[in-house]
Amino acid sequence: MAHHAKNPDSPTLRSTPFARRIATRLAGLLCIALASVALQPTVALAAQGDRNKPITVQADKKVTRYQEGTSVYTGDVVIDQGSLHATGNKATLYLEDGELVRAVLEGTPATFRERDEQGNLVEGEARNADYLTAQGEVILTGKAWLTRSGDDIRSERITYDLKNEVIEAGDDSGSSRVEMTLQPRNADSQE
């Protein structure tokens, strides 16, 4: 086996300034990648994690029909569960096996605020808000308004899929208009 003598005057790849810069940048990128992977599960599961938290409801009056699995709350209703905060004049909660599967809020307006699966704050209001917890979907009807990441949308009907980040507004009949305001995402585009 041939033995190569090291020449102290010839630089190795590891000792050149270029190689040191590349190694430093790669190490930095690796740290950033590992940090983002470590943080990802907590952000991505924020809204889903809310489902395991207790639900608190405040109202002036409550009627529960155990055989139907419904509770109807009236008068200044406030519902909280994790990041979800909802208000209305009336709320009907539907439970299956002790789990909230649907909440229908009525109000002037009914409102909600929650963090979606990506950690974005989503706020909305309408005359009626139908929150389907298992599907992670909110259906707003009657002077509906929704905002997410600074973008606003208004229509008579808005459906927001929190899990898949899909917003659908308006209806097929064309009887209501959709109004959207989008915020610039690029700092260079702002004046």
Structure confidence by residue, pLDDT tens digits, 41-90: 322 223 566 767 888 999 999 999 999 999 999 999 999 988 889 999 99
Give SS3 for 136.
coil
CATH number, domain at 178? 2.60.450.10
Out of 5-9, 124-128, 157-161, 168-172, least confident range:
5-9
Distances (CA, A) of 84 to 24, 37, 103, 137: 43, 26, 12, 13
Residue predicted with more confidence, 66 or 16? 66
User: What is the model's pLDDT at position 49?
Assistant: 67
Distances (CA, A) of 159 to 167, 173, 176: 6, 16, 14
Asked if 100 and 93 count as a contact pair (C-beta separation under 8 A), the reply is yes
User: What is the span of the domain harbouring residue 72?
Assistant: 1-191
Domain count, the chain: 1
Q: What is the mean pLDDT of the chain?
A: 76
- How many residues in total does the chain contain? 191
pLDDT of 23 over the 80 cut = no
144: tokens are: 């509906």
